[in-house]
Amino acid sequence: MENLQIALKDYSLSVSTVPEKGRSLFASRDFYPGDVIIGQEPYICVPKNSSLSTPKRCDGCFITSNVLRRCSRCHVAYYCGTTCQRSEWELHRLECEVLSRLDMDKRKSVTPSIRLMVRLYLRRKLQDDKVIPSTAMDNYNLVEALVAHMSDITEEQLVLYAQMANLVYSILQWPEINIKEIAENFSKFACNAHTICDSELRPVGTGLYPVISIINHSCLPNSVLVFEGRSALVRAVQHIPAGIEVVISYIETAGSTITRQKALKEQYLFTCTCPRCSKMGQKDDIQESAILEGYRCKNEKCGGLLLRTTDGKGFQCQGCQLVMGKEEIKEIITEIELLSEEAASKSSFSCSYQEVISIYKKTEKLQTKLYHPFSISLMQTREKILKSLMELEHWTEALAYCKLTIPFYEKVYPSVHPLLGLQYYTCGKLEWYLGEAEEAVKSLTKAVDILRITHGTNTPFMKDLLMKLEEARAEASYKWSSIHC
């Protein structure tokens, strides 16, 4: 801990233990929006590959390609070229040795989670043998210090971890390692490992970042975790004065307090007490929950929020006082669920996007009658329609749906949030494709204003976005000058 404290001084950070929260990361100086608070390479990581997934991802840089070269010995690792293969060689040399002992069927059972655990012990061995260096921010002691919550997990989960631990033990075949310790590390992974995402927040792998894992959760975070390749970066999204705790969000924050609390308890095994969650049950919180996840009045001229009646037999509009019976609502919800199942079924059987869109539009129509315009369920349906329309390259209709989602994003996310920035980016990109240069400039400018804070400006994605914005500005200027000449 002392060595870590010394290392964190270089980042103007410190670790303190806070009651009910445990270890916490605090700023030792002021940080401002866009500042990189801390960065860390993964102690271990694996790409999002499985025996069935195609195309595969490179083990070194996580890019996806149909022309990756597979390790000829273990047939598990993939590389885009010699640079990535060499960078991974020390670790993969040992990994390849243990995986190659397995028959081909057993190798298919080596999921990313199993592989991550195997790599954890192999990397520890490499550091113990001084083959690769250990530092204050890169050593197995940091993994040991992570919370496992073993006393809080279910018996079913314990059995699963024990089975996975036995598989890892059989792969490594090291008598000195303890199956109980492996199971405990799987519990640590569940609470502390991070999904590695690309610049557009699409999952590409999983990594363990022991120092980043010290950062606690808040539903009103002052910083955001993003990735550049495999490197994790925490950036400030608002002013963080010296002495204030650095916090990120572990979950999707667009949800009611009850939904957020449930997600945190199930995945991370704690109850959030952040300023947003502390308002649970208060008038504003009840209203927010009703908007995001509740029902609306069926009177089109009203559209007020419905709250459960005191006798529990129905829901009453807070505007016109009209009551909707539970059975009436249940009937609509059942119809929505059946349509959702049909859409999911057709998607899994590779039916045409047009068929799937048709079902989603029926769902949308029912949801529009039942839910508030800012309903999460309605937004998710429109996102699915948008995605399908873009697959079909139906740009005009896709833009219309993208514009429908923007008010929701503006409502549920802070003004500086990567998802809001990316939605503006999608909108601007569609406007650009359709020749709406002036509108594209407005949307792309909004995207840049947010994403330069959350993502920085050095990634290929951001450089491409900045170039798109300049091209849109040039075209808009040309069109304007053509009209006014």
Say if residue 54's pLDDT is above 90: no
Q: What is the pTM of this model?
A: 0.93
Write down the pLDDT at residue 351: 67
HSE value, Cβ hemisphere, 13 Å, CA-based, for 414: 19
Confirm whether 1-41+209-280 and 413-484 share one CATH topology.
no
Q: Please enumerate in sequence order all residues whose Cβ is within 8 A of that of 47, keeping only pairs 6 or more positions apart, or say none.
A: 56, 57, 58, 59, 62, 78, 112, 204, 205
User: What is the predicted pLDDT for the residue at 303?
Assistant: 80
Domain boundaries, the chain: 1-41+209-280, 43-194, 285-403, 413-484
Q: Could you tell me which of 259, 217, 224, 221 has the C-alpha nearest to residue 380?
A: 259
1-41+209-280 fold? Beta-clip-like (2.170.270)
Does pLDDT of 113 surpass 80? yes
Tens of pLDDT, residue by residue over 273-312, are: 999 999 998 989 988 998 999 999 888 888 888 888 888 8
The CATH superfamily holding the domain 285-403 is Tetratricopeptide repeat domain (1.25.40.10)
Q: Which range (74-83, 241-250, 301-310) has the least confidence?
A: 301-310
Tokens representing 200? 């557009």
CATH number of 413-484: 1.25.40.10
182 has a pLDDT exceeding 90: yes
Task: Report pLDDT digits (tens) over 117-174.
Answer: 999 999 999 999 999 999 999 999 999 999 999 999 999 999 999 999 999 999 999 9
